[in-house]
Amino acid sequence: MIRQTDQRRGRPQEYSGPLTAAQIAAGMNAASKNAARLATDARLLLDAKRVPTAVALAALSIEESGKVSLLREFAIIQDDADLKQKWRRYRDHRSKNGKWILLDLVRDGARHLDALALTIERESEHTALLNSLKQLGLYTDCYGSAHWSEPDQVFSGDQAALDPYLVQLAELLVPKRETTVREIDLWIEHVKPVWGTPEMRFAVVRFQAVLLAEGLSDTTPAEMAAFLMIFTKAV
């Protein structure tokens, strides 16, 4: 139960300090579990043809999955300004939903890591679009020349093709393994010293090799290298 409350706002007080490896792993696992729950609920609603709410929950699931990679960055905090910036990104919806266009980027020819930068670009149009879809799936509002939007009307016609895609993608993005404290410690050991340098991608491959050797991942170093350097085939 959450006990600490911000009395001025009448809601739980948000923590914004540093995190230990154990706290980071716990946060990643909490986000993964919630992403899975939301994706399952989205699928149930989609099958029941409750499309607007299904889309909104799928968007929320994608955002929760996006927290996992963001939380990993807390293990490499550089200074107080960096810590503040990371908490700001963690609590910003658009900073966590960029991966929803990953499949489209690959199908359109993206192969190199640099071509996939849009998935982490907060100001890209697609982050605003997914955030809008989430809102449109839950609320009525007034747009244009005093036109009232209703969720059931928005998610019909041409828009309908996007509905199962978002739910399927939400399911795909849910992490398949729990994160251990050991994994975070290894990330700090191998990646933190070269964070933000050209050496980082090689350090990530070495990190993946250790994870595989210790039974903490099923992904091979070669598969990780392929992900980082080049996509050999479209999803």
pLDDT value, residue 135: 82
pLDDT value, residue 164: 83
pLDDT value, residue 208: 94
pLDDT value, residue 143: 83
pLDDT value, residue 6: 52
Q: What predicted TM-score, i.e. pTM, was given to this entire model?
A: 0.77
DSSP for the chain? ----EETTTTEEPPP-S---HHHHHHHHHHHHHHHHHHHHHHHHHHHTT-HHHHHHHHHHHHHHHHHHHHHHGGGG--SHHHHHHHHHHHT-GGGS-GGGGHHHHHHTT--SGGGGGGGG-TTSHHHHHHHHHHHHTT--EEETTTEEE-HHHHSSGGGGGHHHHHHHHHHHHS-SSPPPHHHHHHHHHHTGGGTTSTTHHHHHHHHHHHHHHTTS-S--HHHHHHHHH--SS--
Residues 6+ apart with CB under 8 A from 202: none
The low-confidence residues of the chain, meaning pLDDT below 70, are 1-11, 93-129, 157-163, 228-235
The Cα 105–Cα 161 span in angstroms is 17
∠ Cα 91 96 99 (to 5°): 180
pLDDT value, residue 32: 96
pLDDT value, residue 151: 87
